[in-house]
Structure formats: C-alpha cells, structure tokens
Amino acid sequence: MQDELNNLHQQVLAIFGQPVTITQDNQSINVTGIISRELIATGFNDNVLQQVTVVSLDKALPVKRGCLIESEGQRWVIDRPLKDDGHLIVWNLHEDRS
C-alpha cells in the first residue's frame, strides 16, 4: 500500500508541481515542488487567519530550516514544517529579503 501512495504523491508532484531550486550550504539541487498560499490559524483560540506561502516537497529531500527556495524568479527561506503526510512535507516560507 505504501508503494501505491508514494506513486500517487509522485504523480501529484508531476501534475501540479513546478521547478524549484533548493540551496543549502552553498549546494543547490533542482526538484519539483508545489508552491501555494494557504490560510492558517494564528492568535489566541485560533480565531485569526493569516495567509502564508508554503511549499510541498518530497520527504526524502534534505531540507531543513534556513534553506533557500527559488522558483520563477522569487526567493523564500524555509521556516518550519506545517504538515507531514509521510510522503510530502508542507513547509512554511518567508520571503527572502537579502
């Protein structure tokens, strides 16, 4: 069953994904990821929603906080993981101001 789920996640990346460059420790790799905007609950009692930019990447990739993400001329820095379904991890992104 895990193989079928992994194949499904790879198909999702192939259909909805876009080219993404991950830079970490002066080394870059080109992968496919899904960059989107989501609403997440913030504040006391989760009563305030905030729009954030996120990227969905394959769990097997060597990604951690502080990695630089580049796609279509835009740059972000990875902050923290928001969701992990065992195959894809959704990472919170902050705009790179450097």
pLDDT > 80? residue 25: yes
How many other β-carbons are positioned within 10 Å of the β-carbon of residue 89?
A: 19
Domain boundaries along the sequence of the chain: 2-95
More confident residue, 19 or 17: 19
Contact 21, 55 (CB under 8 A): no
Q: Coil, strand or helix: which one is 47?
A: coil
Among 72, 76, 73, CA closest to 52? 76
pLDDT > 60? residue 1: no
CATH topology of domain 2-95: Thrombin, subunit H (2.40.10)
| Across 29-44, average pLDDT | 87
pLDDT > 80? residue 11: no
For residue 92, the one-letter residue type is N
Q: Coil, strand or helix: which one is 87?
A: coil
